[in-house]
Amino acid sequence: MKLADLDIIVTAPPAPGWGGRYWILVKVTSDTGVVGWGECYASSIGPDAMEHVIRDVFGRHMASENPENIELMFRRVYSSGFTQRPDLTVIGAWSGLEMACWDMVGKDRDRPVHALIGGRMNDRIRAYTYLYPQSHHPLPAFWADADMAAESAVAMVEKGYTAVKFDPAGPYTMRGGHMPSMHDISTSVTFCKAIRDAVGNRADLLFGTHGQFSTAGAIRMGQALEPYSPLWYEEPTPPDADMGRVCDAVRIPVATGERLTTKSEFAAALRQGVQILQPALGRAGGIWECKKIAAVAETFNAQMAPHLYAGPIEWAANIQLAASIPNILMAETIETSFHAALVKNTLTVEGGYIPVPDAPGLGIEVDEALARAHPYTDDGLHLEMQSDPIGYHAVNNFAGGAPVKV
pLDDT in tens, 267-283: 999 999 999 999 999 99
- Given pLDDT bands bounded at 50, 70 and 90, which one contains residue 175? confident
pTM of the model: 0.97
- Given pLDDT bands bounded at 50, 70 and 90, which one contains residue 404? low
pLDDT of residue 16: 84
Q: Cα-flanking dihedrals φ and ψ of residue 102, to 5°?
A: -60, -40
Q: Which amino acid, 281?
A: L
State mean pLDDT over 281-286.
98
The size of the chain, in residues, is 406
| Contacts with 345 (C-beta within 8 Å, 6 or more apart), sequence order | none
- Answer yes or no: is pLDDT of 205 > 70: yes
Look at residues 259, 330, 326 and name the one whose alpha carbon lies nearest to residue 299: 326
Q: Which amino acid, 265?
A: E
Look at residues 360, 325, 328, 331 and name the one whose alpha carbon lies nearest to residue 118: 325
Angle formed at CA 250 by CA 249 and CA 256, multiple of 5 degrees: 110
Alpha helix stretches (DSSP H) within 226-359: 244-249, 262-272, 281-284, 286-299, 312-324, 337-342
State mean pLDDT over 125-136.
96
- Answer yes or no: is pLDDT of 30 > 70: yes
- Answer yes or no: is pLDDT of 403 > 70: no
What's the fold here for domain 116-360? Answer: TIM Barrel (3.20.20)
Q: Is the peptide bond before 140 cis (omega within 30 degrees of 0)?
A: yes
Note the pLDDT tens digit of each residue in 348-369.
Answer: 999 999 999 999 999 999 999 9
pLDDT of residue 166: 96
Residues 42, 383 contacting (CB under 8 angstroms):
yes
Residues 315, 20 contacting (CB under 8 angstroms):
no
- Answer yes or no: is pLDDT of 97 > 90: yes
- Domain borders along the chain are 116-360
Computed over every residue of the chain, the mean pLDDT equals: 95
- Given pLDDT bands bounded at 50, 70 and 90, which one contains residue 17? confident
| Contacts with 173 (C-beta within 8 Å, 6 or more apart), sequence order | 212, 385, 386, 387, 388, 389, 390
State mean pLDDT over 297-301.
98
